[in-house]
Structure 1
Amino acid sequence: MNNSRISAWSRKGHLFAGAGIAAISLVALSAPAYAQDTQDTSASDTGSDRDVSAQADSGDAIIVTGSRIRKDKFNADEPLAVLTRAEMTQQGFNSTTDALQSNAVTGGTAQINNYYGGFVTDGGTGANTVGLRGLGASRTLLLLNGRRLAPGGTRGSVLAADLNVLPTAIVDRIEVLKSGASSIYGSDAVAGVINIITDNKVRGLHIDAQTNVPEVGAGVDYRISGTFGFQADRLNVVGSVEYRKRNMLTRADQPWFNCPIGGALDGEGTAFGSGDYIDPTTGKPKCFTLDNGGVTINTIGVSSRNSPDRLTGVVGKYTRLVPDASNTGPFTPGYSGVDYYTRDTYDPDNEKEPLVTPVEIYTGYLSGTYQLDGLGNAEIYAELLATRRKSSSPLYRQLSIDYAEGSPLLPAQFQDSVIAYPNSTTNGEYLGVRAFVGYGLTDSTQQVDYVRASGGIRGDFFLPEWRYDAYVGKSWNDGTYTAESFLTDRLANAMDVVANGDGTFSCRVSDPNCVAAPVLTPSVVNGNLPQAYRDYITENVTGTTKFRETTVAFNIDGPLMDLPGGKAQLALGAEYRKQKIDDTPDQNAINGNLYGLTAGVPTRGTDAVKEVFGELYLPLLSDVPFFHRLSLDGSVRFTDYDSYGSDVTYKVSGQWAPVRGISFRGSYGTSYRAPALAEQFLGSTSGFISQGYDPCDKDNFPSNPANYSANQTVTAANCSSIGLDVTSFTQNSSVTVYRKGGAETGLSAETSRNWGAGVVIQPPLPASIGNLSLSADYFDIKVENGVSDLSGSTILDRCYGEQNFSTTTGFCRFVERDASNRLTVTSSFINLSEDIVKGWEFNARFSTEIAGGRFVLNGTLTKYTEQSSRLFPEEYLKDANGTFAHPEWVGGLDAIYSTGPVTLRYGVDWVSGDKDGKSYDYFAFDEKTGQVDETLAQSYRDNYYLNTPDYFLHSASVQFDIADSYQFTVGVRNLFNTAPPRISAATTTVGNAPLYSGFDYVGRTWFANASFKF
């Protein structure tokens, strides 16, 4: 993640943003309960334009997500939710992306969306992903019309499908299976499967336009789409073209972002407590401190010297000074001393960074079928999806200008200053003075072109009632990412100067473009840099990302025999899939020439898999006493990867309805996730963590050895064995960390088991009352051998915390300490972690006729009982359930009333808060002992505020249908303009709000949709 935006609240703590691991419990949306829980389509009451059960009731055999077998009635052995295009419009979603990332779909937990502009995320800036069950996007399989979407985005860490490639206007419905399905679909279907299904029955031309306008006036989001379709004899063609643009919403646009503070907020987070730093000039907590949102600017770092305090004027020893014209001497004239909190840390330009990043997307979709006379009444089908995404995220940068000891660019009073060893810009000299300058915004843009072309042939197999399907598909992802960056060699050239004799300076190098660095003056320290110097030290650096996926598959399915409950059916298939990645950073990145940013080498690699699978459906009984319906479904898949070998997954599910109106269902299965190409072949990327991460640094220990903890005692002894005394040793250099893929270390697949059980109740009610459907399902997922990318700090702690310490074995084999005590850590992806998610899902739906209209009420509720993980097998599980980024309860309620051409909708989403302080205990939990460190927990309570209230979002809309050709929808999202809760900066925040997609950063937003059919 970008160092200018994220800091850990403790070196051994956890970043609690959930940026890459998105916890989710999928609950039904608006009207999915009838699709999810319908057991007998004769009792179905859909309440929407179309759904799975309605299609099944039409007499057409269908394939529902999670199965390869066609059935003429919809029977769900597992919870399946359906969201229709009509519901997306009524809820104000302007894209398929927004619908999939909504609280109702994600269980109110974190996803990677447009809130993450300033962070390094999988898929690069601008990529949007979705993950189920809190297990991350890479463990959720995304399908378009039953075929997997290849990963997309930029940079080397391309792991999951980018939701931005999906069309919107031509989407018919979204089916979401909330259980593992690797035996059906292969890798990645660990937490579930999301299948986006397009409308293949469009006729004529449909125009759809929507705009979402936040009340603050910024961040307007608009889309216009054209959908078309025609049928000519044997040919059927449908397609769509779309344009969407979402403008940037900056931090300055939202009042709730103003004045982030870092201490112990009081009550509802509106006041301050004893943990806040009080600005003596205002008597109130200081905004934008280094604890939250601020960055040191207008300041120089020097060797310790006498200077008057900036606020009190009292002379003392200082290593941080700010320009002060009122100080005329005798101590450090022109400058005054500052400490951690009194230095300048706020620049208005910082608030020009995006709170929600902008994006511009062009999408084209085309599909067609052609009926043949032969090959078993075959049908040739083809599909083409093409998108171009243009996104950006301006980033505020601080520039550290390093003046070498004795540099002629330094005033006389600082000629003797020495603060650190030589670095990459001091040309072999010791660092004398560092100027912390507010540089302003720098550009960062991405362009991604994504194409998926596929097609095949399907028809009657030679066996009666059997069908075959042969498919081939190819995906191309071509991305470029450009960032305005400081170049290390140019900063060094600019610092190596010779005097011209007239008070000016020139570069010593022969480069005619070189511009000498400015003489250190208060004006320069305050950010007034010559434009020529700015232009010389920066350059737009561009990297390219190519990702390819090829798929070939063949399936057959049909009946085997008649059973008492119907026909036993079998599906068999084989699939071959190959992926290739080629990410090439800019040459300056490869050479490590990006100042203040990580270096990286190309990520290149390929992998291929061969698979065979089978699924058997057995309708054992029907319409007999105590067995209105009894069925079993089993599937198995054999997988053989080039990278790590073979594996077998399986799944068994069943359904028993003793009488009409009540049924029990359950499933048990195994799943897996093959290591992604990025995890296997990520090019070695260098970065830095602060010198304080050195376990032997004296600042990591109490002053009195008698107060050492058990872990500190072991670490101190290990440091002493290599000649470092933890009572006096100070690390003066940053720790270099190299991160690379795990192919060479034998990275293998993650494995998991997933089971669930539930009950569905649909009591027969008089027609005058209406229809009622209730369901309750328990889920339990355990992921083992999880692929983990160990941080440099974790490796260092593990190395120096070993009882049997050795510099060449264990975790220490990844650590190198040179003669100058500079540390280098090498990290790669390995199989270590374990994740467990358990809970309950409840759904209720009631519909009836009232006052000549139709009323539908849908309620959804998810109760998590565990959301735990551990990095190492010998550790205790750490349960995040109930903390502010992993809610224990998530719910939603939708009320829809339709009468004539008018449909009214009101909805409420609910995410439970952390009112009991579970977050404090979570951060103070010791994975090695399995206990909460009560002293540490109390310290957190005294100095930070992490409690959050329950969070409610209300929305409302009204829809008008006119003559079946025109439809208008208007509404409002976040009706009461609910701001995100405020917490301390003890974890990753945006202002005082958690960095967390479950909260709304945009505020009250009005939307309008118009649809026309011709």
Structure 2
Amino acid sequence: MNGTQLTLRASTALSALALAFATAPLAHAQTTNSDQATPAPTASDEGAGETIVVTGSLIRRDNFSSAEPLTVITRDEMTAAGFSSVSDALQSASVTQGSSQINNYYGGYVVDGGTGVNTVGLRGLGATRTLVLLNGRRLSPAGTRGSVGSVDLNSIPDAIVKRIEVLKAGASSIYGSDAVAGVINILTDEDLKGIVLEAQTNVPGIGDGTANRLSASFGAHGDRWRLIGSVDYYNRSRITLGDSKLGKCPIGGYLSGEGTAMGSGDYIDPATGQPGCWTLDNGGLTINTLGVPTRAAQAAPGETAATFNRLRPNAAATGGTPGYEGVGYYTRTTFDPAMLGEEVVTPLSTLTGFLTGSYDLHALGDAQIYVEALGNRRQSSNRLYRQLTLDYATGSPLVPTIFRNGVYSAATDISNGQTVAARSFIGYGLTDNSQDVYTYRAAGGLRGNLGVGDWRYDAYGSYSWMRARYDTETFRTSKLAQSLNVVQNADGSFSCVDPSNGCVAAPAINAASIGGNLSQAYRDFITDDVIGRTHFDEITGSFNVNGSLFKLPGGSAKAALGLEYRHDSLNDQPGAASAAGDMYNLTAATPTVGTDEVWEAYGELYLPVLADLPFIKSLSFDGSGRYTHYRSYGGQWTYKGSVNYEPIKNVGFRASYGTSYRAPALFEQYLGATSGFYSSSYDPCDNYAASSSAILKANCAAAGLPANFTQTNGVTVLTAGGASTGLKAETSKNFSAGVVVNPTLPFGLGKLSASVDYFNIEVDNEVSRLGAAALLGLCYNAANYDPNGGYCRFVDRDSNNAVTVLDNYINISTDKRKGWEFNLRYQHELFGGGLTLDGMVTKYTEQSSRLFADEALIDSNGTILSPDWSGSFNASYRIHAVTLHYGLDWIAGSSNKRVATYQATGSDGVVDQATLTTLLDNYYLGTPDYFLHNASIQYDIGKYELTAGVRNLFDTAPPTITSGVYSLTGNSPLYSGYDYTGRTFYLNVTARF
């Protein structure tokens, strides 16, 4: 997995809607005097007499109203569901609605923010287009390496979070440019008094991957002051492939269906008569093998060919290569038990401190000084299994005589400028990598009355800084080359021509060295810990005023005006070996250094036009605008307008339309040139004669490759920021419309709240990287293959057939998300207790994109990483001191199809999924509907509260598909919506004093 660029039913849904979990269609108001979770207020809950601020607006108002769906997750709900951290809750189905997120399943992949980072993105548009706030103020990015641009959820102060509000609509005119897909506002407990101690443990049934959290919170209040703080420690241990049932025996070939052990195209291991585990197309690596020029050799069992360019040691083999037998694509050795030491879930520990306070001055308009401080340390790590390839130069004394003068490859990567006679493919073992990230924020301000009506002001400033160190254990290219340049001594031993640095000569080619039996001295010489450091700094300042303007029939017209300034700087300095390209077959990078600043002026106007008239219970409008000026990309206006209309009590209609403008993030502009490597098997034309795709065969032949072509070189991936290549800013449009009903049912049957909302988001000039694997597949699987056009313009194949992929940040022409969201909430007093049912179902009708404006849209809706349906359900029943909870997450299955390049079939340019013709007919990519259940019981005895439960109640495993298309864990697609941990028991104990 090393170096891989991560590329990312009507009747069923209607029946699920009656029982589906979601948050209330209208969310909790952001008040400051609520001590416990309460039902969501609705537009009809008038007359509360206090002013509140709703996430998605800058204006205080006297009653709750929202023109867009707002999801709320309370602390009690997180505890009942068994989430071990706020990060887990934010990446759950109730927030992400089926969108794939970056979490600790991605330890072996190159992801934005580096290994161990956890991010969240709404509507499938990525983390850089979702704004994360803490108490209404933006959090700064954190992570490692050059691609730091999103908030690391690990830095959130779990202990003191009271609730999370999620606005699933664009809000750039309210909050700034990165609120393209929506806003997540994490709210701490501002009213905490006394001391709260909490402990939680989550223990998977497999015995590994335990997560523990210990926390303490306190709150103290005086007549003029308030001080609240918390400290929490969180630790989760690793789960390896060997620990998990998923990764022990991935099967390659062509599965014919869910749970199928063998299909018509499966490779059968001749030694066992069963499908082979860990073959090259399901995660295995070529190891214990020697690459030589094609020649006659004794065939390994199961092989029918007479000539081979891959051999493996066999003392009994005779013929032209005594001691070696010939192996093909499926008979190569591809599995080492050490591979099972790689992680399915990477380990993590965090330590977080949070402090907030305020003091009333009784001056400057009854002003209040407020401060906030956050500190977090995240320690994470991951282990990678490494294949070591040693290139022995033609004529080298380390090469057996029968191979010494051949030319296996003209590549001269580490062979001291000479052609390669032979290449040993060695299973080296596990290497260690670690990340140590410190994130801090100091913030404060002054707020008070302006002395004009109810107008108030708020002046705010913050400084956030992040310091990270990342340590990579890797082979040094220079040392490998030095070790291979040897002379033979009189006693038959070998010495380095250049003995500096304590050089240890490479081993001669023999069965022991090919099998990974390398001396510890040699291992120590060729490997180093390469240390890089990342700094991110953000300075923010703002000043805003808000208050009433004049009276309207529906209430007071209100406005908010403000200015905001933000300065960001990113400085990533990879280790010297990385910057010099001296990390063999591993991602190498040059420094990423860049700064940007933005000035913004904004305003919002709220107009409650009419109220309490026939067929107009209430009618209000809200409009906002913001002018954003980046030093790097200039300026542009964004705006938003919305309407709330309630014709009769408890029935309302809402709609909004807005625009966004997002300059590329610092890393998207300035990412230092980065090189990475795939194994040779990632070349689609490697062994293409065995492919079932006629299109692929024709395209590889058109590229001038012989029918028996086998790739002997790795695939090089080059990545860089787009500032120097004309990267443009993004723009987007966001429309939503819906209906809300919240009647009190007759005959004492309880209260019902329900909503249906339509959403439509279109991003133009979206900044993205497609991923090298996707670019290769889209190039060589194209029905209209053009070696110099389309996606092939990013792929280069040189005279030695070595492939290089240019995967820079570019502008994608269009990215669209359309769909429906259904919410339901029911409350009823039953048998002396309170019953609450919450449900949500999201239906995407389109998730499409295109790279070039003259291409058809490719709609991925309904595929594994982009499910068309998702939903959740929560049921709770509280009677006296006991609360029973049941939860369900649902992700719709996918049909057997793969998104690639297709011809458009509709006049609108959108590909109709029903008419798609897959280019890989023999691969099974269908998955069934996926359900995860959780249940818990909570006992509250005053100062003490005990919660015990089970997540993944029925130990549901992720679905399996064929390998070779998606990134996999075993035969399961790598997707954050699936649970790779299995049944997990959890216990939470809370004490209040």
TM range (shorter): over 0.9
Give the corresponding residue for 1:967. Answer: 945
Deviation at 1:889, TM superposition (A): 1.2
Unmatched runs of 5 consecutive residues or more in structure 2: 9-16
Give the corresponding residue for 2:99. Answer: 109
- 1:394-433 matches, within 5 Å, as 394-433=383-422
Q: What amino acid sits opposite 1:667 in the alignment?
A: S
Q: What amino acid sits opposite 1:761 in the alignment?
A: V
Given the alignment of the two structures, is residue 2 of structure 1 paired with residue 22 of structure 2, yes or no? Answer: no
Counterpart CA distance in 1 for 2:510 and 2:710 is 31
Given the alignment of the two structures, is residue 481 of structure 1 paired with residue 458 of structure 2, yes or no? Answer: no
Contact 2:782–2:901 (CA under 8 A) maintained in structure 1: no
Give the corresponding residue for 2:859. Answer: 879
Counterpart CA distance in 2 for 1:306 and 1:934 is 49
Give the corresponding residue for 1:335. Answer: 324
1:223–1:825 CA distance, 2 compared to 1 (3 A): closer
Deviation at 1:214, TM superposition (A): 0.3
Contact 1:29–1:105 (CA under 8 A) maintained in structure 2: no
Q: What amino acid sits opposite 1:191 in the alignment?
A: A
Deviation at 1:426, TM superposition (A): 1.1
Give the corresponding residue for 1:239. Answer: 229
Give the corresponding residue for 1:137. Answer: 127
Counterpart CA distance in 2 for 1:702 and 1:34 is 53
Contact 1:862–1:891 (CA under 8 A) maintained in structure 2: yes
Give the corresponding residue for 1:925. Answer: 902
Counterpart CA distance in 2 for 1:996 and 1:689 is 21
Deviation at 1:925, TM superposition (A): 2.8
- 1:81-160 matches, within 5 Å, as 81-160=71-150
Deviation at 1:820, TM superposition (A): 7.0
2:818 to 827, 838, 843: 838
Deviation at 1:102, TM superposition (A): 0.7
- 1:180-329 matches, within 5 Å, as 180-311=170-301, 316-327=306-317, 329=318
Given the alignment of the two structures, is residue 79 of structure 1 paired with residue 69 of structure 2, yes or no? Answer: yes
Deviation at 1:738, TM superposition (A): 3.1
Counterpart CA distance in 1 for 2:937 and 2:785 is 69
Deviation at 1:422, TM superposition (A): 4.5
Give the corresponding residue for 2:14. Answer: none
Give the corresponding residue for 1:9. Answer: none
Given the alignment of the two structures, is residue 980 of structure 1 paired with residue 970 of structure 2, yes or no? Answer: no
Counterpart CA distance in 2 for 1:592 and 1:205 is 53
Deviation at 1:841, TM superposition (A): 0.8
Given the alignment of the two structures, is residue 901 of structure 1 paired with residue 881 of structure 2, yes or no? Answer: yes
Deviation at 1:931, TM superposition (A): 6.5
Give the corresponding residue for 1:492. Answer: 481
Contact 1:402–1:425 (CA under 8 A) maintained in structure 2: yes
Contact 2:477–2:584 (CA under 8 A) maintained in structure 1: yes
2:734 to 746, 751, 754: 754
Contact 2:217–2:230 (CA under 8 A) maintained in structure 1: yes
Secondary structure of the corresponding residue to residue 253 of structure 1: coil
1:56–1:281 CA distance, 2 compared to 1 (3 A): farther
Give the corresponding residue for 1:389. Answer: 378
1:476–1:38 CA distance, 2 compared to 1 (3 A): closer
1:484–1:554 CA distance, 2 compared to 1 (3 A): same
Give the corresponding residue for 2:433. Answer: 444
Secondary structure of the corresponding residue to residue 186 of structure 2: strand
Secondary structure of the corresponding residue to residue 36 of structure 1: coil
Deviation at 1:872, TM superposition (A): 1.2
Counterpart CA distance in 2 for 1:56 and 1:933 is 47
TM-score of the pair, normalised by structure 2: 0.92
Q: What amino acid sits opposite 1:674 in the alignment?
A: A
Give the corresponding residue for 2:657. Answer: 668
Contact 1:912–1:951 (CA under 8 A) maintained in structure 2: yes
Secondary structure of the corresponding residue to residue 164 of structure 1: helix
Contact 1:359–1:392 (CA under 8 A) maintained in structure 2: yes
Given the alignment of the two structures, is residue 997 of structure 1 paired with residue 987 of structure 2, yes or no? Answer: no
Q: What amino acid sits opposite 2:265 in the alignment?
A: G
Which deviates more from structure 2 when the two are superposed, residues 555-564 or residues 45-54? 45-54
Deviation at 1:811, TM superposition (A): 9.1
Counterpart CA distance in 1 for 2:749 and 2:787 is 75
Q: What amino acid sits opposite 1:988 in the alignment?
A: S
Contact 2:688–2:696 (CA under 8 A) maintained in structure 1: no
Deviation at 1:264, TM superposition (A): 2.3
1:521–1:248 CA distance, 2 compared to 1 (3 A): same
Contact 1:307–1:315 (CA under 8 A) maintained in structure 2: no
Counterpart CA distance in 1 for 2:683 and 2:240 is 37
Contact 2:22–2:94 (CA under 8 A) maintained in structure 1: no
Unmatched runs of 5 consecutive residues or more in structure 1: 7-14, 18-25
Counterpart CA distance in 1 for 2:497 and 2:834 is 82
- 1:591-990 matches, within 5 Å, as 591-688=580-677, 736-766=716-746, 768-789=748-769, 828-914=808-894, 916-917=895-896, 919-920=897-898, 922-923=899-900, 925-926=902-903, 937=917, 940-941=920-921, 943-963=922-942, 965-985=943-963, 986-990=965-969
1:73–1:620 CA distance, 2 compared to 1 (3 A): same
Secondary structure of the corresponding residue to residue 97 of structure 1: helix
Contact 2:890–2:932 (CA under 8 A) maintained in structure 1: yes
Counterpart CA distance in 2 for 1:1013 and 1:758 is 42
Counterpart CA distance in 2 for 1:90 and 1:500 is 71
Deviation at 1:858, TM superposition (A): 1.4
Secondary structure of the corresponding residue to residue 394 of structure 1: strand
Contact 2:270–2:302 (CA under 8 A) maintained in structure 1: no
Counterpart CA distance in 1 for 2:144 and 2:431 is 19
Secondary structure of the corresponding residue to residue 672 of structure 2: coil
Contact 1:27–1:107 (CA under 8 A) maintained in structure 2: no
Deviation at 1:1013, TM superposition (A): 0.9
Q: Deviations over 1:109-128 (max 9, x none)?
A: 31000000000000000000
Counterpart CA distance in 1 for 2:332 and 2:275 is 14
Q: Percent identity?
A: 52
Q: Deviations over 1:796-838 (max 9, x none)?
A: 988999999999x999998888787877665532323311111
Q: How many pairs were matched up?
A: 975
1:314–1:644 CA distance, 2 compared to 1 (3 A): closer
Given the alignment of the two structures, is residue 66 of structure 1 paired with residue 56 of structure 2, yes or no? Answer: yes
Deviation at 1:57, TM superposition (A): 7.1
Given the alignment of the two structures, is residue 33 of structure 1 paired with residue 24 of structure 2, yes or no? Answer: yes
Contact 2:687–2:708 (CA under 8 A) maintained in structure 1: no
Counterpart CA distance in 1 for 2:259 and 2:925 is 9
Q: What amino acid sits opposite 2:840 in the alignment?
A: T
Misfit runs of 4+, over 4 Å? 26-31, 49-58, 312-315, 688-695, 697-703, 707-713, 724-737, 790-807, 809-827, 926-939
Secondary structure of the corresponding residue to residue 588 of structure 1: helix
Counterpart CA distance in 2 for 1:474 and 1:752 is 29
Q: What amino acid sits opposite 1:101 in the alignment?
A: Q
Deviation at 1:48, TM superposition (A): 3.4
Counterpart CA distance in 1 for 2:915 and 2:19 is 42
Q: What amino acid sits opposite 2:120 in the alignment?
A: V
Which deviates more from structure 2 when the two are superposed, residues 631-640 or residues 514-523? 514-523
Counterpart CA distance in 1 for 2:735 and 2:566 is 28
Counterpart CA distance in 1 for 2:711 and 2:283 is 26
Q: Deviations over 1:429-476 (max 9, x none)?
A: 210111111111000000000001110000001321000000001110
Counterpart CA distance in 1 for 2:411 and 2:374 is 53
Contact 1:925–1:932 (CA under 8 A) maintained in structure 2: no
Q: Deviations over 1:159-187 (max 9, x none)?
A: 21111100112001100001000000111
Q: What amino acid sits opposite 1:980 in the alignment?
A: P
